[in-house]
Amino acid sequence: MCTDCHLSRERNKTVPGEGPENAEVMLIGEAPGSNEDKQGRPFVGAAGRVLQEFLDLGKLRREDVYITNTVKCRPPNNRDPLTVELIACRKYLDRQIEAISPKVLVTLGRHALTSFLPNETISKARGIPRSVNGRTLFPIYHPAAALYKQNIRKVIEEDIMKLPALIEELSFFKKEVSYPADVEPETGEQLSVD
């Protein structure tokens, strides 16, 4: 059991994440909340219900995506994770990304975003895919923001609707072309009209 930072002293359960080991999409939130700390599962409280609504809208099933957080233990009183906590947990997040190798990393909120792009703001970066360390990063607002601000809900809905096309596009470009054994691939030489 990890004791790399002081969050380990107050946690009930660690919340490493859940989902298939071959998920095409990894959702990365901020930190576990109270319900997550009790159950040891990510996004099972009110924000989890909102996240499920957004996944349904984007035609994604929870059981097909991997869901985790930047820190794996609940900060007291749901405060923002401290830099020392983010640093302590980063090795676990990096291992998850490496092991699962998703096509898209969807950062949920500003803390998840700035753990990859420290100088970006969520209001400017959201909904714009970008390449970070050879992976596609797709930032959106945290689902909890939709609980309090209706205008943010609409923005998240717009962004989540872009995900299926982004996944399809990445799948198309990453497919390897295979030829039947009796067919030679074209060499790319131009034909002469003479």
User: Among the CATH numbers 3.40.50.300, 3.30.930.10, 3.40.470.10, 3.30.2130.10, which is that of 6-169?
Assistant: 3.40.470.10
Nearest to 187 by CA among 174, 179, 172: 179
- Provide the pLDDT for residue 182: 53
Give me the phi and psi of 26, to 5 degrees please.
-115, 125
What are the pLDDT digits (tens) for 115-124? 999 999 999 9
Q: How many CB atoms lie within 10 A of CB 125?
A: 20
pLDDT of the residue at 1: 80
- Local confidence pLDDT in tens for the 194 residues of the chain: 888 898 999 899 999 999 999 999 999 999 999 999 999 999 999 999 999 999 999 999 999 999 999 999 999 998 999 999 999 999 999 999 999 999 999 999 999 999 999 999 999 999 999 999 889 999 999 999 999 898 999 999 999 999 999 999 987 655 444 445 554 544 444 444 44
> pLDDT over 90 for what percent of the chain?
79
CA distances 14 to 81, 92, 106, 189, Å, are 15, 12, 21, 58
Q: Report the pLDDT value the prediction gives residue 6, as an integer from 0 to 100.
A: 87
For the chain, the structural domain boundaries read 6-169
How is residue 116 written in tokens? 């990859």
pLDDT at 173: 57
Classify 30 as helix, strand or coil: coil
CA distances from 160 to 58, 136, 147, 154 (A): 5, 15, 16, 10
The neighbouring-strand residues paired with 138 are 106
User: What is the tens place of the pLDDT at every residue in 136-183?
Assistant: 999 999 999 999 898 999 999 999 999 999 999 987 655 444 445 554
Give the closest residue to 33 by CA, choosing from 132, 142, 164.
142
pTM of the model: 0.86
Using a 10 angstrom Cβ sphere, with 0-12 exposed, 13-18 middle and 19 or more buried, the burial of residue 77 is: exposed
